């Protein structure tokens, strides 16, 4: 990805997190990114294209800051737990990303053109979580009767919900992380 394109997407993610999608103005975005509006339209064709690429950018950036130190081959359950807990960090990039993700998810209710891209990004996350749960079952750290797909869907949906409550000020971050740890035990059983 070119540096200019990255700068535009960083500015778009920041704008969505700060002002919401309704507050995203291409002219203001161009000014924030230090580029012309025509360059934005050149790279993304239209506002819908810009939103789609912003969603992909946010998803990719989340994969970078949620990369656990725990090895998925030797401790897939630990890798999963760490990956999910890293979604709940009090850092500027996580706050911005999580806020923008929530805004894009909410907007997809009213803008169907975002749904397919949101579905793809969500599926990539939940499929990876399900794969880690499958591996953890083979390693003996998750009971064999656990549905990996169901548990992955519930856990990732919970992370999104906890994130919204934390970011909206209705749940302290420590409590959100505590609830997630409890849910991991409830879904996957106690660690052996």
pLDDT (tens digit per residue) in 135-185: 999 999 999 999 999 999 999 999 999 999 999 999 999 999 999 999 999
pLDDT at 24: 87
Is-contact 59 124, C-beta < 8 A? Answer: yes
Q: What is the pLDDT of residue 1?
A: 64
pLDDT > 90: what percent of the chain?
84
What is the C-alpha separation between 161 and 34, in angstroms, rounded? 34
Ordered structural domains, the chain, with CATH: 54-188 (1.10.357.10)
pTM of the model: 0.90
pLDDT band at 47 (very low <50, low <70, confident <90, very high): confident
Q: How far is CA 92 from CA 20, 72, 79, 159, in A?
A: 17, 27, 23, 18
Distance CA 111, CA 174 (A): 34
Handedness of CA 119, 122, 124, 127 (dihedral sign): negative
From CA 56, how far away is CA 166, in angstroms rounded? 23
Mean pLDDT of 80-86: 98
Mind listing the pLDDT tens digit for each residue in 15-24? 999 998 888 8
Summarised one tens digit per residue, pLDDT across range 121-146 is 999 999 999 999 999 999 999 999 99
pLDDT at residue number 61 = 94
**What pLDDT is recorded for position 73?**
96
Distance of CA 74 to the CA centre of its chain: 25
């Amino acid at each position: 990805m070119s540096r200019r394109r990255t700068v535009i997407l960083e500015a778009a993610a920041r704008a969505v997190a700060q002002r919401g999608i309704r507050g995203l103005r291409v002219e203001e975005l161009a000014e924030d990114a230090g580029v012309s509006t025509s360059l934005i339209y050149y790279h993304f064709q239209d506002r819908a294209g810009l939103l789609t690429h912003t969603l992909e950018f946010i998803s990719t950036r989340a994969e970078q800051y949620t990369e656990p130190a725990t090895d998925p081959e030797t401790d897939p359950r630990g890798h999963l737990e760490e990956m999910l807990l890293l979604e709940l960090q009090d850092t500027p990039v996580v706050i911005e990303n999580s806020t923008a993700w929530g805004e894009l998810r909410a907007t997809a209710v009213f803008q169907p053109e975002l749904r397919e891209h949101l579905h793809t990004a969500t599926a990539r996350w939940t499929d990876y979580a399900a794969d880690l749960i499958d591996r953890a079952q083979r390693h003996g750290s998750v009971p064999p009767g656990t549905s990996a797909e169901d548990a992955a869907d519930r856990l990732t949906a919970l992370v999104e919900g906890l994130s919204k409550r934390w970011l909206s000020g209705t749940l302290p971050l420590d409590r959100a992380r505590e609830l997630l740890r409890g849910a991991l035990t409830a879904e996957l059983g106690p660690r052996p």
